Chains A and B, each alone.
Chain A
Amino acid sequence: MILRLAFGSLMARALTVGMTILAIALSVALFLGVEKVRTGAKASFADTISGTDLIVGARSGSVQLLLYSVFRIGNATNNLTWESYQDIAERPQVDWIVPISLGDSHRQFRVMGTTAEFFDRYKYRSGQSLELSDGAIMSDLFDTVIGADVAATLGYEINDPIVVAHGLASFTEHEDQPFRVSGILEKTGTPVDRTVIVSLKAIEAIHVDWKSGAKTSGMSTAADVIREMELQPQAVTAALVGVKGRLQVFGLQRSINEYKQEPLLAVLPGVALQELWQIVGIAETALIAVSGMVVITALIGMMATIFSSLNERRREMAIFRAMGARPRVILGLLVLEASLMAAIGAILGLMFLYIGLIIAQPLVDSAFGLWLPIDPPTLREVWVLLSVIAASAIVSLVPALRAYRLSLADGMMVKI
């Protein structure tokens, strides 16, 4: 009966209680949303590369190498010469090696030159391989395989022509050597979705008329002529390396890092990711703290609402007292009401979160390449919700104790 009365009392103040519940719901949705984005981003990043033992590039920072080679974020400060690449490829410990050549773009998407082995060796999300949803991998020099987001955003289909621009955000295009879409990849939820993949030789092919980063005036070599050329890359941006035995990873890494001919860097993707988390961790903590503060603000708002209602509810408390309720029943009633508000707010917040996720999932995926999973609440999230309810009960003790004292002083003789 007490629970029913508490609920009835809340319903009688539907507007203010509704506003309080809405504030709690929004704050809970924000807090859990931040958690979802945080864990989603972490999982998304961690799932991007799998099965690669080392990433090799010009010496810079390990996080920088990871970001530009795997996530297409930022740029390489230098390249890895083809001689060094071949030297590493011939090491006995190396099982496979896949070159990556970045630098050009198509519209807002990066163009990556690589070998056909990339499609076999690149793994994501615990060893999943790339799959073609349509067409085939490159067979001609000017064939390209595009990621799912590239095809979806630009509306490309098999055999559509693609003209690659020189550099990033450039107005100069390699219009003399257009590519043909030969294949479209299945969605992976990784940066591959937003990549235009061409052969390593094609990267050389579109630059035959270029010297020192600029097109040679008046030169325009026909595509058929280029096809007959012996195209030898001078350098690549980075390389993904698979090692024959796990124990050899560190030895190979050390020898590459001490490479005499040019300054190189070999990183373990997992270790570089950990370093990245450490950097991101500060922002993560700040984000959690801010969203936590929003929840606390909502709870303080609830406390203020209960406080402001106390005076108008003295008559109600007096009735309870007259009927034999002890002052601690009044205290319990207010704490129960606060807990009910928080519980409804928490459930509503969870609903807001899932509605938000359903709406935001495709938008966030296409805008940031971040896949936010829509899973049932985790144990951690359930604990967050329970903590909000417990915190509201604790916060409500402040006005509840005031009500306790008022009901002791008023007894049953309030005349309002």
Chain B
Amino acid sequence: MSDETSILELEDVRYRWPGRTSFGLSVPAFGLKSGETVLLLGESGSGKSTLLSLICGTVTANSGRVAVSGTDIASLSAGQRDRFRAEQIGLIFQQFNLLPYASVLDNILLPLRFAPERRSRVNAPQDEAIQLCQDLGLPRDVINARAGTLSVGQQQRVAAARALIGQPPLIIADEPTSALDAATQTTFLELLFAQSQSHGTTLLMVSHDARLADQFDRVVQMSDIAKAERVTP
């Protein structure tokens, strides 16, 4: 499955949460090509969060291979994985994405603090952050506002700007539109797609809303690529 344009590869991955939790996940094969947009559909409890944790390297597989940009995450130390995540992946959550007490600018620049290579790709971080805000339809003066004072829709756009800054090769969006109304959802996705395309970024969006399917290059059902395992104690 490995080829030059692969940005994400999972092969024969098995993972079981430690301790008393009896939830496990196995992913025989899953991958993303550079620049594609993929919608991963799955119900609650299907293992989406576990899959994202494996891709982001906050947990490591018991067996198998998880590679981002050709690097096997398991070969990295915990500290290296944290830095690798900051360098390679931009993340957007469902909600509560931002540090509410920090300014919009500090929120957007936060990943650069932990990713020197990503920072080196940005000549003028502040100007870049302002430009991203403008591209995502945020007012110019929002940059110095406290993130907690913004509307939910504005906060999601700031989160998108934070994910995009420094052009990480992969953006993972975990149900980013679920807290938005229909009109704002559409605008947000259009802006996210446009920016991902202009930055040449791969977008993996996790959702349970199948209506979004036609906007993506590819749609993947969680049940097709992974098997959740539950053991009743």
Set of chain B residues within 8 Å of A416, measured between Cβ atoms: 96
Residues A1 and B53 in contact, CB atoms below 8 Å apart: no
Chain A residues with CB under 8 Å of B93's CB are: 322
Main DSSP-derived SS at the A contact region: helix
B103 partner residues in chain A, CB cutoff 8 A = 8
Q: Does B100 sit at the interface, judged by CB under 8 A?
A: yes
Cβ A319 vs Cβ B99 within 8 A: yes
CA–CA, A412 to B91, complex, Å?
A: 10
In the bound complex, residues from chain A placing their C-beta under 8 Å from that of B86 are 323-325
The answer, yes or no, to whether A73 is at the interface (CB within 8 Å) is: no
Q: How large is the interface on A (under 10, 10 to 19, 20 to 34, 35 or more residues)?
A: 20 to 34
CA gap between A9 and B106 in the complex, in Å: 13
Is the CB of A12 closer than 8 A to any CB of chain B? yes
A11 to B146, CA, bound (A): 12
A4 at interface, CB cutoff 8 A: yes
CB distance from A78 to the nearest CB of B (A): 74
Q: Taking A4-B106, A411-B53, A411-B59 as contacts, is the C-beta distance between A324 and B114 under 8 angstroms?
A: yes
B147: nearest residue on chain A (CB-CB)?
A8
Pick from B59, B97, B113: contact of A1, CB under 8 Å: B113
Q: What band does the interface of chain B fall in when counting residues whose beta carbon is under 8 Å from A?
A: 20 to 34
A324 CB contact (under 8 Å) in B52, B82, B102: B82
Instruction: Please indicate the chain A residues that have their CB under 8 angstroms from the CB of B109 in the complex.
Output: 1
Interfacial chain A residues near B79, Cβ < 8 Å = 326
Q: Which of B43-102 contact A (CB under 8 A)?
A: 49, 52-53, 56, 58-59, 78-79, 82-83, 85-87, 91, 93-94, 96-102
Indicate if A283 sits at the interface (CB-CB under 8 A): no
B85 contacts which of A315, A319, A324 (Cβ < 8 Å)? Answer: A324
Given known A-B contacts A8-B99, A11-B101, A323 and B111 have beta carbons under 8 A apart: yes
Complex Cα–Cα for A56 and B148 (A): 77
A5 beta carbon closer than 8 Å to chain B: yes
B191 is an interface residue with CB less than 8 A from chain A: no
Verify if B115 is at the interface (C-beta below 8 Å from A): yes
B110 at interface (Cβ–Cβ under 8 A)?
Answer: yes
Closest to A411 in B: B58
| Contact (A5, B96) CB under 8 Å given A12-B101, A324-B85, A413-B52 | no
- Does A180 count as interface, using CB distance less than 8 angstroms? no
Q: CB within 8 Å of B: which of A341-380?
A: none
**A398: min CB distance to chain B, Å:** 22
Which residues of B lie under 8 Å from residue A2 when comparing CB positions?
A: 113
Q: Which of A306-348 contact B (CB under 8 A)?
A: 315-316, 319-326, 329
Given contacts A9-B101, A325-B114, list 17 more A-B pairs with CB under 8 A. Answer: A1-B113, A5-B101, A8-B99, A8-B102, A11-B101, A320-B110, A322-B91, A322-B93, A323-B113, A323-B162, A324-B82, A324-B83, A324-B86, A324-B87, A325-B82, A413-B53, A413-B58
Q: Can you list 28 A-B contacts (CB < 8 A)?
A: A1-B109, A1-B110, A2-B113, A4-B102, A5-B101, A8-B101, A8-B102, A9-B101, A11-B101, A316-B99, A323-B91, A323-B114, A323-B162, A324-B82, A324-B83, A324-B85, A324-B86, A324-B87, A324-B111, A324-B114, A325-B82, A325-B86, A325-B114, A326-B114, A411-B59, A412-B56, A413-B52, A413-B58
Q: Which residues of A are interface residues toward B (Cβ below 8 A)?
A: 1-2, 4-5, 8-9, 11-12, 315-316, 319-326, 329, 411-413, 415-416
The 8 closest A-B pairs by CB, nearest first: A324-B86, A411-B58, A324-B114, A12-B101, A8-B101, A323-B111, A326-B82, A322-B91
A-binding residues in B (CB < 8 A): 49, 52-53, 56, 58-59, 78-79, 82-83, 85-87, 91, 93-94, 96-103, 106, 109-111, 113-115, 148, 162
